[in-house]
Amino acid sequence: MRSKALRQGRFWHTFLPTGPTTNNGSVGGAIITQDGKETWTVHDYLGSDYNAADVTVEKTVAQFLGGMGSPNAISIDEVTATSIFTPTVVLAETWSGNHQRVFLAGDACHQTIPLGGYGMNMGLADAWDLGWKLPATIQGWGGTHLMKTYEQERRPMAALMQHWRKIHMMKIMGLSTAVKLDPVVIESMDERGIALQLRR
């Protein structure tokens, strides 16, 4: 896995078609390398009826690294953090106060599933937009209505981001079904594998 991580870049993601709690043809989770060497993040998609007592770091990692076969025992040096996350997709109705003195940005006004960096990039763009409009207004060269354009411009972009994030997620969820739960097919260099790699 390490050599593959280094070939594909430092922060590569591998989406797996099976996991400790998902074995019905949908994506089971993902492994993400944080340094390309020894630090990894493992995501497992839990069903609504999961039992928290059955979800352990050891079981999750062993199942993921076992791939399509039996769980693969592995020694874990250190667990730096664990959490259970419930996806939330929301869009605030308004992004500023009545007198244009308080503004929302990032997750405060648009939350989405953390996939593909959509939310992070939207938050950075929000900050960039406010970063030039606030001094322009304070210094007087931006006009009296400039701050109203923040919400007018950014909110439609956030709605569009949530739309494309949904399409992105559906592509990933559908890919495992397309290869009948065989991740080897995706990485193969035959005609079918290349077609799946180029699929959009």
Three-state DSSP class for residue 44 = strand
Distance between CA 196 and CA 200 in Å, rounded? 9
Per-residue pLDDT, 73: 64
Distance between CA 195 and CA 200 in Å, rounded? 10
Count CA atoms within 13 Å of residue 28 on its CB side. Answer: 22
Per-residue pLDDT, 45: 74
Distance between CA 2 and CA 105 in Å, rounded? 37
Per-residue pLDDT, 151: 96
Angstrom CA distances, 20 to 27, 42, 165, 179, stand at: 11, 12, 25, 20
pLDDT along the chain (200 residues), means of 10: 44 58 53 78 76 78 62 76 81 91 94 83 96 96 94 95 81 57 58 66
Q: Where exactly are the structural domains of the chain?
A: 4-84, 90-173
Per-residue pLDDT, 51: 78
